[in-house]
C-alpha cells in the first residue's frame, strides 16, 4: 500500500532550537516527496522537494530535509526555529497524490 505518515500531530520547540518534523512513506517505485506549509486560513506553500539527486535538499525559509531510502523517511529540519515558523506542515507523496495528516509546529519565544 502506498502512503505517507506523519507520526506527530504536534511538535513544540523553543525559538532558536533545532526542529524536526517527521515523515515516513511507503511506495512502489520512486517517491516524489514534498513538504508544504499551511498558515491559518491560507493555501499550501511549497517548501522543498525530493525527486532525484542529493539526499539532502534545501528549501525555503532555511528548511531542509533528508531523503533516507533505507528508513523510508523524509524528515523536515531547521537548525534554528523562529516563532514565525509556527504553522501546519504537510509531507506529500505527490506522484501518488498522497498527503500526510499534517503536523502542527508550535515555536515558543
Of residues 82 and 98, the one with the C-beta less far from another protein: 98
Binding of another protein by 1 (CB under 8 A): no
Applying CB under 8 A, which of residues 102, 103, 105, 107 lies at the interface with another protein? 102
Binding of another protein by 107 (CB under 8 A): no
Query: What is the pairing mode between strands 98-99 and 87-93?
Result: antiparallel
Among the residue ranges 17-25, 65-73, 76-84, 93-101, the one whose residues contact another protein (CB under 8 A): 93-101
CA distance to 7, 25, 71, 72, 96, per residue, from 60 (Å): 23, 22, 24, 23, 23
Binding of another protein by 51 (CB under 8 A): yes
What is the rounded CA–CA span in Å between residue 61 and residue 47? 8
What is the rounded CA–CA span in Å between residue 35 and residue 45? 9
Of residues 52 and 70, the one with the C-beta less far from another protein: 52
Inter-residue contact 65 to 57 (CB < 8 Å): yes
Judged by CB under 8 A, the chain residues 28 through 47 that form the site for another protein are 32, 34, 36, 42-46
Chain contacts with another protein (rule: CB under 8 A): 32, 34, 36, 42-46, 49, 51, 90, 92, 94-95, 97-102
Amino acid at each position: 500500500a502506498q502512503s505517507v505518515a506523519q507520526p506527530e500531530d504536534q511538535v513544540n520547540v523553543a525559538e532558536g532550537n533545532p526542529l524536526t518534523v517527521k515523515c515516513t512513506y511507503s511506495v512502489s517505485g520512486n517517491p516524489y516527496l514534498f513538504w508544504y506549509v499551511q498558515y491559518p486560513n491560507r493555501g499550501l506553500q511549497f517548501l522543498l522537494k525530493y525527486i532525484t539527486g542529493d539526499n539532502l535538499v534545501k528549501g525555503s525559509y532555511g528548511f531542509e530535509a533528508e531523503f533516507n531510502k533505507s528508513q523510508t523517511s523524509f524528515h523536515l529540519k531547521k537548525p534554528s526555529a523562529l516563532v514565525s515558523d509556527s504553522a501546519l506542515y504537510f509531507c506529500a507523496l505527490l506522484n501518488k497524490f498522497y498527503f500526510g495528516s499534517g503536523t502542527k509546529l508550535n515555536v515558543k519565544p
